[in-house]
Structure formats: structure tokens, C-alpha cells
Amino acid sequence: MARSIPWTQIALSAGVASVIVWRVPFGGLRAAFRNLEVGSLLLAVFCFLVLLFLRAYKWHRLLAAVGKVHLRQSLRSLFGGFALGLITPGRLGELARCVFVREEERAQVALLTLLDRLLDLWSLFTLLGASLFFLVRYPAAVLGVAVWLALLPVVMDFPRLLARLFKLAPERWRSRWHLTEAVAELPHVQTPRYAILALGAMWAELALFFFLLRAFFPVGFTTAVATYPYIVLAGDLPLSFSGIGVREGVAALLLSPYAVPYGAAVDAALLWFVFAILLPAVLGIVWLVAERARSRVRESDIPVPDISRLWRTARPLEPPSPLQGDSVAPGLGAG
């Protein structure tokens, strides 16, 4: 049990957070929150809702593409993955969405989850390519865009590539985990529409970070484009617990050339973590706990027998009334 707890990541997160607190005075963090711009914060909340909707819609449509059209099943696996992703390095726990479906469907959902995460990673690298226009010279940025365009056919062929990869699995695995049926359905997934949804979710996430940063310090949108993908990549590295500490330190380092105070950068990165990672995970935990509580209530909901009917059946006969005269029960003498 002790081995399952990421003590190294927790210790590193605590260490980096201590360095941040040492280098960034607590008064600066508090002052940044005191000067928070409410309008930008409300826009960030709106971007968070759009981001959550796009994530849920993309995942639901992916499941519907292989015949799983129940919205409740889609949301259960998605938010369950969010909950597991909170406690795993690089949010790898989101790949375990398959544990929230029936056993015969797990291989198919696992393949779709891998495709979903690959498209999210591609959209992040797309944003990284856009950031090159603000960080390096123009020819180098154009070269990056050329590489992105050259890899675009590979991205559009992700479902077939995954199908070919999993066809190489041993026969006993394919029969045990129903891989043959899952792989057969995968090439029918139309990648372009889901790639567009992944890009839309990534830009909503970028807008969320921009409005959070602007709530603490007035910056331009190009500042967020130039720094955001690298902050996300740093937080996804399996170095700390949920990227806490590393993400905030990289944000303070990358935003300092744009005259953003350390306190504002750290606060914006912390709030981004709360909106983009922590809140979906909390929603997933609440969903699973409530579902577990309802199942226990159903298990304990045993019909109570009608006690009054049993009492009426077992009630002894009343003695005859003296006014009844000769109406004596048969078989009983008068005296």
C-alpha cells in the first residue's frame, strides 16, 4: 500500500512550493488576490464551462461513433477519468476511463481514450507551433509550421494506426480483452471532426489561462500564447504531484520577461490548476461517491412485509357472544 503513494512526487511538490514561497513573498500573493479583476474572472469561469462542455461533447461523440450513445455512461467514464487523473503523474489516470464501463467494453473504451488523449496532445503541440512566432525568428517559426503540416496526415490517420498497432497483440490478449471487436470499430472513427473539437477545447483552455492571468495583471493575448503551452508541458511532467509547484515555478519564470509580477504569475497558474484539473476531478469524485451511495440505498431497499396482514391471519378466534343464542361453532356442545 505504501508503494502506491507517490511520496517522491509529493516531496518534490512540497519542496518546489517552499522555494516559490521563499522567492515570492506571501504578501505579494495576497496583494495579487486583493486586486483581482472580477470581470476577467467571470470570463474565465465562462471559458471553463465552455471547456468542460467541449471535453464532454467530444468524448460522448467518440463513444457514439462506436455505438455507445448513453450520455450517462459517457459522463461517468469521463469524470471518473478526471478523478483518477488528479492523483497520477501527467494525468495518465485519465487513460483508465475504461474501468467505469462493463468488462466486455473496456478494450474499446481504452482505445478511444488513447485516441482522445493523442488528439489533445496534438492540439497542444499545435498551440506550441503558434507560440514560435512570438519566441523565435520568423524562418524558424515557418519551419515549425511546415513540420506540423507534414505530420497532419499522420494525425488524421490515428485510428488506423492504433488499430494496426493493437493487431500485433498476442492472440490470448485479443480474445481475453475483446480486442478484435474493438479494433474492428476503430478505423470507422472520423478523425477530422474530433481533431477540430480538440483544437476548440485547447483554445478554450488557453482563453481560460489568459483571463485568469489578466485578472491579476493586464497582459496581452500574445503573452498567454507565448507561454501557456510550456507551462502546461511543465505541469504534465511526472516530477511532482499533479504538477503542483513545478507549474507555478515555470509560470513565474516564463512570464517575468513580460513584466508580470511573480505573485500574479503564481496565482494565475494556481487558479488555472483549480479550474482545468481540480474542479473536474472533484466533480468526478462527487459523481462516483453519489453513485455508490445510491447503489447502497438500492441494495438496502428491501420490501417490508405487511405486519397488519400477518396479525389479522394469526389473530385468535373471539368467543361467541351470549346474544348469539344457538349460533355456536359446529362441533362444540352446549353443555
Phi, psi (degrees; rounded to nearest 5) at 169: -65, 150
User: Which residues of the chain are under the pLDDT cut of 50?
Assistant: 1-4, 22, 304-305, 307, 310-311, 314, 317, 323-335
d(CA 277, CA 86): 7
The pLDDT tens digits for 98-132 are: 888 887 788 888 889 989 999 999 999 999 999 99
pLDDT, position 87? 73
d(CA 292, CA 271): 30
Please name the helix (run of DSSP H) or strand (run of DSSP E) that holds residue 56, with its range, or none: helix 38-64
- CB atoms inside a 10 Å sphere around CB 105: 19
Residue pointed to by grid coordinates 450520455: 71
Exposure of 214 in the CB half-sphere (CA atoms within 13 A): 19
pTM value is 0.77
Instruction: Output the CA–CA distances (angstroms, integers) from residue 292 to 56, 72, 98, 177, in the order listed.
Output: 22, 15, 18, 26
Please check whether residue 173 is in contact with residue 16, taking contact to mean a CB–CB distance below 8 angstroms.
Answer: no
Which set of grid coordinates corresponds to residue 12?
518534490
Residue pointed to by grid coordinates 503541440: 125
Which set of grid coordinates corresponds to residue 9?
512526487
d(CA 287, CA 281): 10
Residue pointed to by grid coordinates 473504451: 109
pLDDT, position 187? 72
DSSP percent split of the chain into helix, strand, coil, nearest 5: 80, 0, 20
The pLDDT tens digits for 210-257 are: 999 999 999 999 999 999 999 999 888 766 667 777 888 889 889 999
Nearest Cα to Cα of residue 281 among 94, 96, 44, 113: 94
pLDDT, position 215? 93
